[in-house]
């Protein structure tokens, strides 16, 4: 019997994106699916948009609830799902046409304990350009690697209903990274994973994500990372992986701290970021290396902003904020130059190619890569 997919779609004030999400389901080459739109107390016209699709497609239904956050909405979807396999698809993301068909072909060969993960494409908010295709590959081991970083975007992973019943629902107390906490539990429960390397889902890369609170983000990350090496009592099955481990979480915390600060500095919260950095870092500011700050350029900030106008915006609006941060932190001019190089080097390389072409721009980039400590970045 063909697998029934339950596509769980939380939506809060994203009615303008919802049609793209739902149209991608209607175009699927695999037909045995249901979609559950969970309207999480939206104040826009999410309800009207969702109902219009329910009228034309019986496989789509809508559930109304008071606003409770992403985890709450997903949990309501889980409780009302009829499928054998779940995909948690945010309303601003969407699927390749053969996504479900490809995943279904793998499901026939594995058991309910197996996650299926596919690659994903970062795409511009207007869907006009793919910024980056991310392929995924088989990992040597899921644990303890899961302690160092999430598996991938939530909708790039398919999980069985039975495995969800073993690990519990999404943690509604978390204000962010609830998916990392969820997948970490799946790994601790002893799941395996099958990989479809090529992209099958789109991840809409929105500049509006910059509005997120970096301090709330880090505090949620800190909770999840701290839980990692400990036995998780939310898992209801016996697993040899669900136990206390000896694992130094400090290096992981430092990396996500700096990544979160990158968002705050973009937002111009220089002093607050500096105070937060001093409070949360596990070492003196003077002990940090310039290379460590490279992670300020991440998918949370401006990692994929490479068009001419985006690069101009990065250097005009945001670069000065990072200069000010390093000045206020008391770093030397030499250290600041090295740190800024590590943060902005990708954008500088793209800028040179845009301005001077592949050959001359490539030559400049070669010189910068090899002599960056002697060359002023801008």
Tell me where in the chain the CATH 3.90.550.10 domain(s) lie.
Answer: 5-212
CA 191 to chain centre: 21
Query: How far apart (Å, rounded) are the C-alpha atoms in residues 256 and 331?
Result: 21
Beta carbons of 119 and 199 less than 8 angstroms apart = yes
Q: Which pLDDT belongs to residue 212?
A: 82
377 pLDDT above the threshold of 80 = no
Half-sphere exposure of 260 (CA within 13 A, CB side): 26
pTM above threshold 0.85: yes
**pLDDT tens digits, 165-223:** 999 999 999 989 999 999 999 999 999 999 999 999 999 987 766 558 999 999 999 99
Question: Is 283 strand, coil or helix?
Answer: coil
298 pLDDT above the threshold of 60 = yes
Q: Which pLDDT belongs to residue 351?
A: 87
Question: Which of the following CATH numbers is that of domain 5-212: 3.30.450.20, 3.40.50.12780, 2.60.120.260, 3.90.550.10?
Answer: 3.90.550.10
**β-strand partners of 192:** 114
Mean pLDDT, range 110-134, rounded to an integer = 95
228 pLDDT above the threshold of 70 = yes
Q: Of all residues in the chain, what percent carry a pLDDT higher than 90?
A: 84
1 pLDDT above the threshold of 70 = no
Output the average pLDDT for the chain. 93
Closest CA to 148 of 71, 259, 240: 259
DSSP state of 2: P
Q: Which pLDDT belongs to residue 137?
A: 93
Where is pLDDT greater, at 282 or 100? 100
pLDDT band at 376 (very low <50, low <70, confident <90, very high): very low
Closest CA to 96 of 119, 125, 72, 126: 119
Half-sphere exposure of 331 (CA within 13 A, CB side): 24
Q: Which pLDDT belongs to residue 365?
A: 76
**pLDDT tens digits, 59-99:** 999 999 999 999 999 999 999 999 999 999 999 999 999 99
Q: Which pLDDT belongs to residue 368?
A: 80
Closest CA to 233 of 295, 296, 168, 302: 168
């Amino acid at each position: 019997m063909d697998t029934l997919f339950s596509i769980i779609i939380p939506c809060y004030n994203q009615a303008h994106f919802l049609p793209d999400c739902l149209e991608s389901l209607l175009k699927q080459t695999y037909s045995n699916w249901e979609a559950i739109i969970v309207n999480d107390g939206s104040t826009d016209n999410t309800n009207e948009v969702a109902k219009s699709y329910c009228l034309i497609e019986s496989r789509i239904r809508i559930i109304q609830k008071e606003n409770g956050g992403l985890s709450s909405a997903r949990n309501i979807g889980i409780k009302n799902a009829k499928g054998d396999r779940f995909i948690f698809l945010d309303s601003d993301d969407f699927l390749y046409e053969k996504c479900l068909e490809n995943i279904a072909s793998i499901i026939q060969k594995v058991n309910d304990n197996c996650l299926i993960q596919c690659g994903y494409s970062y795409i511009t908010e207007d869907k006009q350009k793919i910024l980056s295709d991310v392929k995924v590959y088989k990992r040597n081991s899921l644990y303890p690697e899961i302690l160092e970083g999430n598996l991938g975007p939530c909708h790039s992973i398919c999980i069985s209903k039975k495995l969800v019943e073993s690990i519990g629902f999404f943690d509604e107390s978390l204000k962010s990274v609830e998916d990392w906490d969820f997948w970490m539990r799946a790994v601790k429960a002893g799941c395996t994973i099958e990989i479809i390397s090529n992209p099958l889902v789109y991840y809409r890369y929105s500049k509006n994500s910059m509005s997120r609170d970096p301090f709330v983000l880090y505090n949620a990350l800190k909770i999840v990372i701290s839980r990692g090496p400990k036995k998780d009592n939310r898992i209801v099955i016996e697993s040899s992986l669900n136990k206390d481990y000896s694992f130094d979480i400090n290096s992981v915390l430092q990396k996500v701290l700096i990544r979160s600060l990158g968002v705050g500095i973009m937002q111009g919260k220089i002093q607050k970021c500096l105070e937060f950095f001093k409070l949360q870092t596990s070492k003196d500011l003077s002990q940090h290396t310039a290379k460590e700050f490279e992670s300020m350029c991440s998918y949370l900030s401006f990692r994929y902003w490479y068009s001419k106008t985006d690069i101009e915006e990065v250097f005009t609006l945001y670069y000065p904020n990072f200069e000010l941060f390093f000045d206020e932190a008391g770093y030397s001019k030499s250290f600041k130059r090295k740190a800024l190089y590590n943060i902005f080097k990708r954008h500088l390389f793209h800028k040179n190619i845009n301005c001077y072409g592949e050959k001359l721009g490539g030559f400049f980039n070669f010189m910068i890569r090899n002599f960056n400590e002697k060359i002023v970045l801008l």
